[in-house]
Structure 1
């Protein structure tokens, strides 16, 4: 199991599926290349000082090391964004949340894959490519939204 280290990898995963849990937010995206699941860890400065942030990161890393390989789908990148409850949450509960989040992310990826296959059953592409929709219409300008004008 390898780790995500570059900012571009984290940004790419941020566009994927989000699975919130008590101690963390799991973001995941399927990549084109097959291989082991990859994990990245981050904790924002809003959470606390460096000691608390590093402790959260270590707890998340250990949970993934022990149980992530068995549950994570191959060919998927995951980012765990630590939250403050990860400090006080029992480790068994943290692991149970991780397993549940990885299973939910796997199901979401399967649904997305099935949805793309059903999006254009005749094989034609939409206006912006396969499985994509046209952009939403622009919102009204502020002067048009005001009711007292």
Structure 2
């Protein structure tokens, strides 16, 4: 099971801007853990969304319990695979 859930919603406002939302619930951990996870997700989004994201869409990353222990390279691979799957 990946360390996150990715939701992508196409906006109907003719604005090509990609937007990113990140949410981590308190079930994942305390504030330190949640903020660390958000920083990791922001880095992933900055790296992958410009080339693999969808223009004019909202990308929402929802953190899961296993996400904080996962290796960053594994998270990158999982996000890339999720974006490729959505592109089909």
- Do these two structures clear the TM 0.5 threshold for a shared fold by scoring above it? yes
Task: Output the CA distance in 1 between the equivalents of 2:56 and 2:16.
Answer: 5
Match of 2:5 in 1: 25
Please tell me whether residue 102 in structure 1 is matched to residue 83 in structure 2. yes
Task: Output the CA distance in 1 between the equivalents of 2:4 and 2:62.
Answer: 5
Please list every run of 5 or more consecutive structure 1 residues that lacks an aligned counterpart in the other structure: 1-20, 108-149
Please list every run of 5 or more consecutive structure 2 residues that lacks an aligned counterpart in the other structure: none
Matching residue within 41, 53, 56 for 1:75: 56
Please tell me whether residue 46 in structure 1 is matched to residue 24 in structure 2. no
Say how many residue pairs are matched.
87
Deviant stretches of 4+, over 3 Å: none
TM-score by length of 1: 0.55
Pair member with larger Rg: 1
Q: Is the 8 Å Cα contact of residues 72 and 103 (structure 1) preserved in structure 2?
A: no
Higher-RCO chain (CA-CA 8 Å, sequence separation at least 6): 2
TM-score by length of 2: 0.90
* Bigger fraction of residues in strand: 2
Please tell me whether residue 58 in structure 1 is matched to residue 75 in structure 2. no
RMSD: 1.3
